[in-house]
Structure 1
Amino acid sequence: MILTTEALGKSFDGLRANNDINFTLKKNRVHALIGPNGAGKTTFVSMLIGRLEPTDGAIWFDGKNVTEMPAHRRVAQGMGYTFQITSVFARLSCHENVALAARRRLGRNRAAVDEAVARALGRVGLGERAEEVAGDLSYGHQRLLEIAMGLASMPRLLILDEPTQGLAESEIAAFKALIRELSSETTILLIEHNMSVVMELADEITVLNFGEILAHGTAAEIHANPAVQAAYLGTETADAED
């Protein structure tokens, strides 16, 4: 296991957003996290990456308790993530956006940084757009740029929050191919509402509902689960979000 949570919970002014979540991520697997609107996915992921402090419970990353570790130290430990809303630097070029992430790992070795940037941009299909200003990209391409920024840090765990939002069908097909390739190199936690993407890519799926784990299993098991059908698959649209 590369990540586990033990009885993880979060309350906001008495409102329970997450409750008693025991969750595991196996190394070099694609694990999808799904759930209806308001299920608590964003809160849960925010605790994993250190943006929110849990009310109770613990988070372990690669055998180390990181519950109280700040977000930047988790990145240094090997966690990478993209946000549901893009966090690129709009006035910088695509190259420089990715270089900022690469320098955290490689320091000021310019040749190594440039090589890492070129490789990351190429993998997401933006290799020929390296010098374009990030703010001039479409929303979908900004999402791809953010994934390239995550890849440049060579994470052992890559958390992708709604990565296909804003992508065209052809770009989604390329994204699926990228995830298949990456899964041999790193662990991927995918938070995604496009169920065709989830069902095709995920080795395991965890379903959250009302801040608790409703179900866990393979794509086939989740698709056939009556409780999941009632809570999510039969009613949710592909573009809803927490």
Structure 2
Amino acid sequence: MAAVTLLSTRDLCRHFGGLRAVRDVDFDLPQGEIRALIGPNGAGKTTFVSMLCGRIPASSGTITFQGQDVTHLPAHKRISLGMAYTFQITSIFGNLTVYENVALAVQHRLGRDHAALKRETLGALARVGLKARAEQVAGDLAYGHQRLLEIAMGLGQEPKLLILDEPTQGLSDGEIEEFIALIREVSANTTVLLIEHNIPVVMALADTITVLNFGRIIAEGTPAEIRANMHVQEAYLGG
């Protein structure tokens, strides 16, 4: 039975003046997959994901999510449909506690059910290893813990698609191992799109890898296929 396509793009482009950051990208993400998006710095990865999320508009092309054209929907509407995302620069509320940050994300889904709000907020924090820090001011967290808090905020939305941009940046080796285990657990119910420079993490997690270079997809395949791809070696993996 063929996998259901959760997210797709056709001829997706983004220009910044004369710079073509993303060029005519056709992309399909099946439901239930862990997909990694890799490529050199400046390849267009974050620009591409920012268009998927509605953070920046596409110059041309289309984006479809769950069979619905979302190309022109604002970011908050896409969140309501089931997208959650974290970006390279953390976007936590630094003056609120760790608990309050996640509770805001959960509240968007649960409303005023206070018992369920507390249960699911603490559950999301437990999944990323931050439950013991629930009452700490978020801005006082180490950078790696702020990254984990962002993931907890995403999980609190119970998304259909979780998009993570450089999630292991700032994490210790032990935290990276815990992150890998977490994403494997999350993928049982949530499709994951991962932008990551840590190639061992990509190879350990991804079902499929998409490689961008100069704003175009140059290869797509399993970790073994990507590792053996001569064009990818020349462009990114270093031979």
Does TM-score exceed 0.5, indicating one fold?
yes
Q: CA deviation at 1:39?
A: 0.2
Question: What are the residue-to-residue correspondences of 1:50-65 with 2, within 5 Å?
Answer: 50-65=54-69
| Pairwise CA RMSD | 0.7
CA distance in 2, matches of 1:13, 1:204: 32
1:224 alignment partner in structure 2: 228
- The amino acid that maps onto 2:73 is M
1:74 aligns with 2:69: no
1:49 alignment partner in structure 2: 53
1:103 aligns with 2:107: yes
CA distance in 1, matches of 2:212, 2:62: 18
CA distance in 2, matches of 1:89, 1:12: 30
Which digits, 9 at most, give the CA deviation of each residue in 1:140-199, with x for residues without a partner?
A: 000000000000000000000000000000000000000110111100000000000000
1:194 aligns with 2:190: no
1:144 aligns with 2:148: yes
Question: What are the residue-to-residue correspondences of 1:132-171 with 2, within 5 Å?
Answer: 132-171=136-175
1:126 alignment partner in structure 2: 130
Aligned-pair identity in percent equals: 63
5+ residue gaps in structure 1?
A: 236-242
1:25 aligns with 2:29: yes
- The amino acid that maps onto 2:153 is M
5+ residue gaps in structure 2?
A: none
- The amino acid that maps onto 2:152 is A
Could you tell which deviates more after superposition, 144-153 or 12-21?
A: 12-21
Number of matched residues? 235
Q: CA deviation at 1:14?
A: 2.4
1:239 alignment partner in structure 2: none
2:179 alignment partner in structure 1: 175
CA distance in 2, matches of 1:15, 1:82: 25
TM-score, reference length from structure 2? 0.97
CA distance in 1, matches of 2:182, 2:109: 22
Runs of 4 or more, structure 1, over 6 Å off, are: none
CA distance in 1, matches of 2:15, 2:43: 14
Q: CA deviation at 1:12?
A: 1.2
Q: Is the partner of 1:2 in helix, strand or coil?
A: strand
CA distance in 2, matches of 1:87, 1:15: 27
TM-score, reference length from structure 1? 0.96
CA distance in 2, matches of 1:223, 1:130: 40
Q: Is the partner of 2:52 in helix, strand or coil?
A: helix
CA distance in 2, matches of 1:15, 1:168: 36
Q: Is the partner of 2:194 in helix, strand or coil?
A: strand
